[in-house]
């Protein structure tokens, strides 16, 4: 239990005031508008500019705070960070930044730049969408809108065009490099599933083997009913594959294939399920990466940052 801080005293007195105040003198409050507090972190001090924590951890932090916990932990883009309510700081190793709790109605006074490292402005119009992608003709995975023309595609589909120095396929407008350099987003659901129609296309590519329901294959099938992710390593962190690529890998894996070939952003990749690696063919220099198939429930064991090179994962740990 931490020592009574100013905040705690305030909370106690608010509580006392609430229980001792006669109902007739209590200001009538609309029950549908509960008080909401937003947790912010500085960069590293609040005066240097600040960001809101990702919506996925706001209630986790608030709950720990209201339950008088000393601290709580979150996964912040693959990094384990500890929030201390004593020192009102958020740290990972020697990296420390200031944190603050503000009432939602006072948020505009905090000079907040955005949410979880993504600025408010650059993420405008990037929300999850059911729109089809005009490159792969399926539901957009990690929908990415080109700011200048407004056309929107899957992240890996439009990145393929960018890598091949092709323009926007709809209007031939330029693709800004800023979309592809260390992208951070907060509006994408990590748990997004591969669309059904793509899943069907994908399984149609395989011939049904004769020994479908026997041996290892059937036990893998049973196990596969649990949610699994395919992840790859990049610069000391892990990213989930684009769900379409993931679906493709999973299908090959369940068919007991030793390897498979995958096109990622126009590069032909060889995936080896025995060595747990992915590498480019002899014609390109894409380096070998470690890959893994993990149960969704084990994802907290890995420094996972997002999907397909797009960072957005922030989640509660404890
Ligand atoms: Zn696409
Ligand atoms: Zn366009």
Ligand located closest to 142 CA? 1
Q: Near ion ligand 1, which residues have CB within 5 Å?
A: 133, 135-136, 154, 157
Q: Which two structure tokens, joined as six digits, stand for 287?
A: 């380096």
What is residue 129's predicted lDDT score, i.e. its pLDDT? 64
* pLDDT of the residue at 99: 97
What is the pLDDT, as a whole number, of residue 197?
A: 63
In a domain, 3, yes or no: no
Quote the ligand 1 centre to 236 CA distance (angstroms). Answer: 27
Phi, psi (rounded to 5 degrees) for 85: -85, -15
Could you tell me if 206 and 309 lie in one domain?
yes
Domain boundary among 96, 119, 142: 119
The count of other CB atoms within 10 Å of the CB of residue 58 is: 18
Whether 102 and 154 map to the same domain: the answer is: no
**How many C-beta atoms lie closer than 10 Å to residue 28's C-beta?**
6
- Whether residue 22 is contained in a domain is answered as no
Considering every ligand atom, which ligand is closest to the CA of 265? Answer: 1
* Separation of CA 96 and ligand 2 centre (Å): 41
Burial class (CB in 10 A: 0-12, 13-18, 19+), 279: middle
Given 119, 135, 169, which residue is the final one in a domain? 119
- 5 lies in a domain? no
CATH code: domain of residue 75: 3.30.720.50
CB 128 within 8 A of CB 61: no
* C-alpha of residue 311 to centroid of ligand 2, in Å: 24
Question: Do 156 and 208 fall into the same domain?
Answer: no
Smallest-distance ligand from the CA of 153: 1
Cα of 71 to ligand 2 centre, how many Å? 46
Domain hosting residue 70, numbered range: 37-119
Q: What is the pLDDT of residue 145?
A: 87
pLDDT at 167: 93
201 shares a domain with 169 = no
From ligand 2's centre to the CA of 135, what distance in Å?
12
pTM over 0.85: no
> For the chain, what is the domain count?
3
- If asked whether residues 108 and 149 sit together in one domain, one would say no
- Ligand approaching nearest to the C-alpha of 146: 2
Residues 6+ apart with CB under 8 A from 156: 141, 142, 242, 244, 245, 264, 265, 308
Element (H, E) at 290: strand 289-295
**DSSP one-letter string for 171-192:** T-PPPPGGGTSS-B-SSS-TTP
Question: What's the gap in Å between 244 CA and the centre of ligand 2?
Answer: 23
Task: Mark whether 110 and 138 lie in a shared domain.
Answer: no
Digit-by-digit pLDDT tens for the chain (318 residues) are: 454 444 443 443 444 333 334 444 444 555 556 788 999 999 899 999 999 998 889 999 999 999 999 999 999 888 899 999 999 999 999 999 999 999 988 888 888 888 888 776 444 445 556 678 888 888 888 888 888 888 899 999 999 999 889 999 999 999 998 888 888 887 777 888 877 666 555 555 444 444 444 445 555 555 556 789 999 998 888 999 999 899 999 999 999 999 999 888 878 889 999 999 999 866 666 678 999 999 988 888 888 889 998 888 777 777
Residues 175 and 203 in one domain: no
Residue 12 lies in a domain: no
How far, in Å, from the CA of 153 to the mean position of ligand 1?
Answer: 6
Q: Provide the pLDDT for residue 113.
A: 83
Whether residue 313 sits in one domain with residue 200: yes
pLDDT (0 to 100) of residue 127: 55
Protein residues near ligand 2, an ion, with CB under 5 A: 149, 151, 168, 170-171, 173
Task: Identify whether 11 is part of a domain.
Answer: no
Are the C-beta atoms of residues 81 and 91 closer than 8 Å to each other? yes
Q: What per-residue confidence (pLDDT) applies to 219?
A: 56
Nearest CA-CA partner of 317 in 37, 71, 51, 118: 71
């Amino acid at each position: 239990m931490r020592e009574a801080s100013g905040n705690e005293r305030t909370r106690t007195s608010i509580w006392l005031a609430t229980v001792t105040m006669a109902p007739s003198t209590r200001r009538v409050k609309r029950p549908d508008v509960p008080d909401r507090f937003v947790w912010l972190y500085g960069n590293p001090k609040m005066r240097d500019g600040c960001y809101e924590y990702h919506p996925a951890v706001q209630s986790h932090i608030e709950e720990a705070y209201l339950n008088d916990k000393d601290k709580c932990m979150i996964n912040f883009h693959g990094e384990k960070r500890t929030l201390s309510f004593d020192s009102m700081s958020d740290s990972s190793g020697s990296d420390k930044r200031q944190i603050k709790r503000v009432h939602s109605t006072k948020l505009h006074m905090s000079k907040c730049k955005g949410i979880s490292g993504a600025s408010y402005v650059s993420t405008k119009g990037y929300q999850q969408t059911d729109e089809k992608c005009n490159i792969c003709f399926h539901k957009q995975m990690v929908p990415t809108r080109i700011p200048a023309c407004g056309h929107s595609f899957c992240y890996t589909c439009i990145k393929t065009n960018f890598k091949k120095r092709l323009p926007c396929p709809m209007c031939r407008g330029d693709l800004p490099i800023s979309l592809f350099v260390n992208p951070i987003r907060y509006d994408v659901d990590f748990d997004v599933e591969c669309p059904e129609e793509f899943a069907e296309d994908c399984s149609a590519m395989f011939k049904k083997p004769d020994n479908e329901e026997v041996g290892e294959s059937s036990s893998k099938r049973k196990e596969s009913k649990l949610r699994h992710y395919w992840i790859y390593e990049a610069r000391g962190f892990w990213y989930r594959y684009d769900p379409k690529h993931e679906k493709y890998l999973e299908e090959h894996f369940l068919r007991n294939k030793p390897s498979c070939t995958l096109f990622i952003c126009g590069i032909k990749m060889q995936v080896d399920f025995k060595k747990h690696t992915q590498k480019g063919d002899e014609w390109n220099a894409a380096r070998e990466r470690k890959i893994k198939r993990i149960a969704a429930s084990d994802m907290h064991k890995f420094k996972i940052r997002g999907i397909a090179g797009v960072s957005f994962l922030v989640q509660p740990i404890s």
